[in-house]
Amino acid sequence: MKGRRIINRGVRAHAKPLLRSLSRFARRLLQEWRRLKLPTEGVTVVAVSGGADSVALMLAVDELISCQKLNITAVVAHIDHCLRRTSSADARWVKELGTRLGRPVSI
C-alpha cells in the first residue's frame, strides 16, 4: 500500500530500522549527537542536576547506549553547591538514579 503509514506500537512501519525501537526524544538526541559530531566511543560525562531536563537527557543517553547506538561510558556527574536545604537530597537522588542505571556516578 504505497504512501500509507502503518502504525505499530507507536512506530511508523517505514521508519529506518536503525532508529525503530528508540523513543522520539532519544531519536532526536541521536540526530543532534551525530550532527554535532560528538564522540560515539569512550567516556562522556553527563551533568545531571536532578531536574526534569537533565534527567531526561540522562535517560535518553542510557537508552542510546542500551540500544547500542552509542558505544560510550556515560558518567553521571552532579555538583552539590549546598545553596539550598534540599541540595543533599538532590545529590542522593541523582546518585541513586545513576546507580540504578548501572552508570558510574561522581558527586
Alpha carbons 41 and 22: distance in angstroms, whole number: 19
Cell numbers found for residue 13: 512501519
Cell numbers found for residue 87: 541540595
Alpha carbons 77 and 99: distance in angstroms, whole number: 12
13's CB contacts (< 8 A; 6+ apart) are 5, 6, 7
Q: Please give the share of the chain, as a percent, with pLDDT higher than 70.
A: 81
Closest alpha carbon to 58 in 88, 83, 25: 25
In this structure, the number of other CB atoms found within 10 A of the CB of residue 23 comes to 16
Given a cut of 90, whether residue 18 has pLDDT beyond it is: no
Question: Mind listing the pLDDT tens digit for each residue in 44-59?
Answer: 999 999 999 999 999 9
